[in-house]
């Protein structure tokens, strides 16, 4: 009898242990909030579509567009979302207000902004901007800031030497195509939309800013403390996604077609190719000190940041892969 009871207890312990192990291996549900839906965040979409998150035991319940960086990050601060995608400066702004958050991974690097000219507009170098009418997104958006900085670097006055027309982001091509502006400062996929309508790319900001932490993956210090394994798995998934984009652009483009189904597939292909060629999708998830400094310096230039924001204060670099 005692032997039978011992066998039963052993069997029960084995079942309990197996059940506990299965529970431990369950996928973690994760909500990601993004500033807006954009090709900049293609590594997130590829990781979801291609099962990379699932491989790392992560179930993406939703990738939700918040409309802005601060709104995306506020969901993380509230504990509603586990990760957000936007510029690292918003982490600094949140910290200044007492928010306990960190940037943990790169997702879009460089400055993915280009200047397009309508046919007949002469442009050999930035000095040729003098006297031109330029359509650009609303201040203090990054494209607007980069334009102002380019003008200043070439000793041009933004108020007297050029005519700047501020428009909603995404509608920069309209004034140029209507003949009301000579040049447009734009992101993808608007850039290749313009090329398809006869405009010419005359300036590439990615060459000026090859190291620029444009968009990062961000999370709360609480999640880092409570579940560092989840943070590590999420960052590793993004790292694998970045490698896939570089090694298999065709698959990345197929994912982009699904995410932006209303746009011409050929346009999406051209936009993704341009961003890959311009190193917008970085080689690894590591946020380098140089890239971070560039991002903060751009915000200082426009006056959004007036205090010091040290790299160590904003970035938690130990989750990122070292290549």
pLDDT in tens, the chain (323 residues): 445 445 444 444 444 444 333 345 799 999 999 998 999 999 999 999 999 999 999 999 999 999 889 999 999 999 999 999 999 999 999 999 999 999 999 999 999 999 999 999 999 999 999 999 999 998 878 899 999 999 999 999 999 999 999 998 889 999 999 999 999 999 999 999 999 999 999 999 999 999 999 999 999 999 999 999 999 999 999 999 999 999 999 999 999 999 999 999 999 999 999 999 999 999 999 999 999 999 999 988 888 888 889 999 999 999 997 65
How many domains does the chain contain in total? 2
- Residue 223 counted as domain residue: yes
Range of the domain at 287: 27-110+211-319
Domain end, chosen from 190, 208, 226, is at: 208
DSSP state of 39: G
Domain end, chosen from 191, 208, 225, is at: 208
Cβ-contact 317, 216 below 8 angstroms? no
Nearest residue to 135 via CA among 191, 170, 176: 176
Same domain (yes/no): 182, 44: no
Cβ-contact 172, 137 below 8 angstroms? yes
- Residue 14 counted as domain residue: no
- Residue 38 counted as domain residue: yes
- Residue 17 counted as domain residue: no
Domain end, chosen from 160, 190, 208, is at: 208
Helix ranges (DSSP H) in the chain: 2-24, 42-49, 52-55, 69-77, 89-96, 142-153, 173-177, 190-196, 205-208, 221-226, 228-247, 249-259, 265-277, 289-302, 311-314
Same domain (yes/no): 188, 254: no
Same domain (yes/no): 46, 185: no
- φ and ψ of 105, to 5 deg: -155, 145
Q: For position 219, which CATH number holds?
A: 3.40.190.10
d(CA 73, CA 82): 10
Same domain (yes/no): 236, 311: yes
pTM to 2 decimals? Answer: 0.85
């Amino acid at each position: 009898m005692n032997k039978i009871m011992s066998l039963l207890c052993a069997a029960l312990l084995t079942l309990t242990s197996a059940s506990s192990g299965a529970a431990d291996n369950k996928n973690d549900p994760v909500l990601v909030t993004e500033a807006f839906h954009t090709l900049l965040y293609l590594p997130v979409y590829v990781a979801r579509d291609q099962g990379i998150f699932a491989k790392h035991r992560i179930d993406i319940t939703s990738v939700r567009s918040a409309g802005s960086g601060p709104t995306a990050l506020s969901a993380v601060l509230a504990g509603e979302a586990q990760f957000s995608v936007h510029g690292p400066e918003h982490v600094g702004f949140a910290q200044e207000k007492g928010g306990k958050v960190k940037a943990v991974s790169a997702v879009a690097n460089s400055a993915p902004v280009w200047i397009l000219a309508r046919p007949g507009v002469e442009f050999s170098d930035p000095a040729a901007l003098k006297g031109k009418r330029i359509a650009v997104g609303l201040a203090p958006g990054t494209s607007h800031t980069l334009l102002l900085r380019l003008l200043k670097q070439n000793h041009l006055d933004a108020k007297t030497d050029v005519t700047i027309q501020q428009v909603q982001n995404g509608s920069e091509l309209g004034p140029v195509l209507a003949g009301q502006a000579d040049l447009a400062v734009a992101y993808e996929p608007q850039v290749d939309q313009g090329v398809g309508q006869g405009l010419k790319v005359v300036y590439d900001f990615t060459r000026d800013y090859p190291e620029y932490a444009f968009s990062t993956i961000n999370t709360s210090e609480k999640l880092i403390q409570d579940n560092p394994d989840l943070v590590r798995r999420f960052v590793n998934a993004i790292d694998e996604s970045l490698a896939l984009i570089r090694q298999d652009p065709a698959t990345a483009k197929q994912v982009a077609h699904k995410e932006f189904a209303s746009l011409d597939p050929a346009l999406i292909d051209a936009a993704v190719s341009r961003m890959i060629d311009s190193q917008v999708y970085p080689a690894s998830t590591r946020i380098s000190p140089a890239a971070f400094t560039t991002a903060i310096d751009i915000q200082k230039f426009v006056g959004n940041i007036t205090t010091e924001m040290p790299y160590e204060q904003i970035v938690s670099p130990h989750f990122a892969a070292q290549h």
